[in-house]
Amino acid sequence: MNKKLSSTAVLLLGALALAGTVQNATAAGAIFSATGAVVNAGDLPGNGSINDTFNHNGLLSDYTSGVTNFDAYIATNPLHTSTFAGFEWFGNAGTSTATVTYDLGSVRSFDRLALWNEESSGIGLLDLWTSIDGTTFTSLASGLTPFDNPLANYPADVFSVGATARYVRFDMSRCPQSNPGTFPACAIGEVAFRSADVPEPAMLGLLGLGLVGLVGSRRRKAA
């Protein structure tokens, strides 16, 4: 009896905790930013701050993370400044690869990635990896070719890639992009994500109530 009640209670607590988490999650379809990023071994320290690739500094029209609708925002063709200082990140001069890992702050579900591919160096080829714990990574997409952008102020590339993860790793290669490729390194302007659909809090609440009933039923049977 105790074992059955214990396992049911664990399920109940898990469901209620999940319901609370989803209630605080970003609404489906909203654009959201990473909360942190690190430049991984092989291209340290780079040039500029990697924080400038997710803090909106370089965007000519801003968005509110977790609130602004991703599709509506992208439809306005938001541009990124071509100015480097305080707005972009570059790898070390003379390198053709770089790796950056973005921290979403918690486990998040997303279904699209917006990348403002820096115009003078950028990324020639991009592989994406995801992780829950920051240690074990799973391949999400490989061989992505961001827009080789020759414009002074450059638009976003949108990739339909979906996962549930906390960490997203960018493995960049074939840098710089061929057109115009004026600085020999990989570079990033800005990165953002589109929040995917998640279970409705109301339904998770019903699940929790159902488990409460199950606990009560088992107690009555045991008695």
Q: Which of 138, 142, 119, 120 is nearest to 129 (CA)?
A: 138
Given this model, what pLDDT does residue 181 score? 81
| Distances from the Cα of 106 to the Cα of 22, 34, 35, 65, 176, angstroms | 11, 10, 9, 14, 32
Whether pLDDT at 200 is above 80: no
Tokens of 44: 């340290």
Do the beta carbons of residue 153 and residue 185 sit within 8 Å? no
Residue 10 has pLDDT above 50, yes or no: no
Above 60 in pLDDT, residue 13? no
Q: Of residues 3 and 183, which shows the higher confidence score?
A: 183
Is the pLDDT at 11 greater than 60? The verdict is no
**Average pLDDT of the segment spanning 27-42:** 91
What is the pLDDT at residue 18?
A: 45
Burial state string for 128-149 with b = 16 or more CB within 10 A and e = fewer than 16: bbbbeeeeebeebbeebebbbb
pLDDT band for position 101 (50/70/90)? very high
- Under the banding of pLDDT at 50, 70 and 90, the label for residue 180 is confident
Per-residue pLDDT at 202:
45
**Three-class SS of residue 75?**
helix
Q: Residue 4's pLDDT is what?
A: 45
Element (H, E) at 222: helix 201-222
pLDDT band for position 149 (cuts 50, 70, 90): confident
- What Å distances lie between residue 217 and 38, 210, 221, CA to CA? 50, 11, 6
Q: What is the pLDDT at residue 113? A: 98
* pLDDT over threshold 80, residue 223: no
Residue 48 has pLDDT above 50, yes or no: yes
Least confident of 42-46, 148-152, 202-206: 202-206
Band (179; pLDDT cuts 50, 70, 90): confident
114 versus 198: the higher-pLDDT residue is 114
Average the pLDDT over 104-122 and give the result: 97
At residue 89, φ and ψ (nearest 5 deg) are -125, 140
What pLDDT is recorded for position 218? 54
In this prediction, residue 197 carries a pLDDT of: 78
Average pLDDT over residues 200-220: 48
- Computed on alpha carbons and rounded to an integer, the radius of gyration of the chain in Å comes to 21
